[in-house]
Chains A and B, each alone.
Chain A
Amino acid sequence: MNEKETKIWNAIKDIPDPEIPVITIEELGVLRKVEEKPSGEIIIYITPTYSGCPAMKRFEDDITQTLKEKGLDENVHIETVYDPAWTTDWITDEAKKKLEKYGIAPPAQKSYDKAAILGKEPTVRCPRCKSTNTELISQFGSTACKALYKCNDCLEPFEYFKCL
Chain B
Amino acid sequence: MTTQEALFKYTLRIGDNDLILGHRLAEWCSYGPTLEEDLALTNIALDLTGEAQALLQYAAEVEGKGRSADDLAYKRPERQFYNSIITELPKGDFGYSIVRQFLFDAYELPFFQMLTKSKDETLSAIAHKAVKEVKYHLRHSANWVIRLGDGTEESHNRVQKSLNDLWEYTGELFEMDEVDETVLKEGIGVDLTLVKAEWDETVNKVLAEATLTRPEDGWMQTGAKREGIHSEYLGYILTDMQYLPRAYPDAQW
A contacts, CB < 8 Å to B: 48, 50-54, 81-87, 111-112, 114, 117-118, 137-142, 144, 148, 162, 164
- How far is A137 from B143 in the complex, measured between Cα atoms in Å? 13
Known: A83-B128, A142-B39. A50 touches B142 (CB 8 A): no
State which of B39, B139, B209 has its C-beta within 8 Å of the C-beta of A141: B39
How many A-B pairs fall under 8 Å by CB?
A: 85
Give chain A residues whose Cβ lies under 8 Å from the Cβ of B44. Answer: 140
* Interface contact A82-B36, CB-CB below 8 Å: no
State which of B124, B139, B143, B206 has its C-beta within 8 Å of the C-beta of A114: B139
* Interface contact B40-A117, CB-CB below 8 Å: no
CB-CB contacts below 8 Å: B166-213 with A: 202, 205-206, 209
Interface residue? B93 (CB, 8 A): no
* Interface contact B50-A117, CB-CB below 8 Å: no
* Interface contact A117-B202, CB-CB below 8 Å: yes
CB-CB contacts below 8 Å: B82-117 with A: none
Closest to B57 in A: A80
Closest to B37 in A: A138
Give chain B residues whose Cβ lies under 8 Å from the Cβ of A118. Answer: 139, 142-143, 146, 209
State which of B40, B121, B132 has its C-beta within 8 Å of the C-beta of A112: B132
Closest to A146 in B: B43
State which of A52, A82, A137, A162 has its C-beta within 8 Å of the C-beta of B46: A52
* Interface contact A51-B130, CB-CB below 8 Å: yes
Give chain A residues whose Cβ lies under 8 Å from the Cβ of B222. Answer: none
- How far is A114 from B140 in the complex, measured between Cα atoms in Å? 12
B contacts, CB < 8 Å to A: 36-37, 39-40, 43-44, 46-51, 53-54, 121-122, 124-126, 128-130, 132-133, 135-136, 138-140, 142-143, 146, 202, 205-206, 209
* Interface contact A85-B128, CB-CB below 8 Å: yes
* Interface contact A50-B47, CB-CB below 8 Å: yes
Closest to B58 in A: A82
* Interface contact A85-B39, CB-CB below 8 Å: no
- How far is A81 from B54 in the complex, measured between Cα atoms in Å? 10
7 shortest interchain CB distances as A-B pairs: A52-B50, A51-B50, A83-B125, A140-B40, A52-B46, A138-B36, A82-B125
